[in-house]
Amino acid sequence: MSPRWTPDPDVRRGRSVVSHLHAHLVFTTKYRRGALTDPILTRCQQVMAEVCRDFGAELREFNGEDDHVHLLVHYPPSVALSRLVNSLKGVSSRYLRREFAGHLRNYLWGEHLWSPSYFAGSCGGAPLTVVKEYIETQKHPGP
């Protein structure tokens, strides 16, 4: 082990890969209706944490308001983020619409809790300007 290297618990190590992948996800309710309450958000966090575990990922942070939720997810490189998002939205929608049917019926109709769109942003590590400068300073080998 190099004396310059300090283990980082956020860095995942596999047989042939070392990764540090975090995503900031935002899901909005269908039609941006203010349907989410504190008990619904609490249950939503529980369901989404379980979905993340099923994918080998970890829900690091969760919060929301009446019409949207924010998630910070740490995930392995073997996970396609779009598949994780699809499961997070689909599973949570099924559970929440079943468990809070009386309340949600006043705001939403049909089979959907979430808008079909979502925001996904990569985060963590060095700022882009630092990474860009690091790449620019790499030296090409001689002929």
Residues 46-74 pLDDT 10s: 999 999 999 999 999 999 999 999 999 99
119 domain residue, yes or no? yes
Domain that holds residue 92: 17-136
105 domain residue, yes or no? yes
Q: Give the three-state DSSP class for 3.
A: coil
**Beta-carbon contacts of residue 51 (< 8 Å; ≥ 6 apart):** 84, 87, 88, 91, 92
Which residues face 12 on adjacent strands? Answer: 19
Total number of domains constituting the chain:
1
10 domain residue, yes or no? no
Residue in 117, 134, 116 with CA at minimum distance from that of residue 125:
134
45 domain residue, yes or no? yes
Q: Give the three-state DSSP class for 81.
A: helix
142 domain residue, yes or no? no
Taking only the tens place, the pLDDT of each residue in 95-134 is 999 999 999 999 998 889 999 999 999 988 878 788 788 8
6 domain residue, yes or no? no
Q: Give the three-state DSSP class for 44.
A: helix
The pLDDT value recorded for residue 128 is 76
141 domain residue, yes or no? no
Q: What is the pTM of this model?
A: 0.85
Model confidence at 141, pLDDT cuts 50, 70, 90, reads low
What CATH number has the domain bearing residue 83?
3.30.70.1290
- The rounded distance, in Å, linking the Cα atoms of 43 and 47 is 6
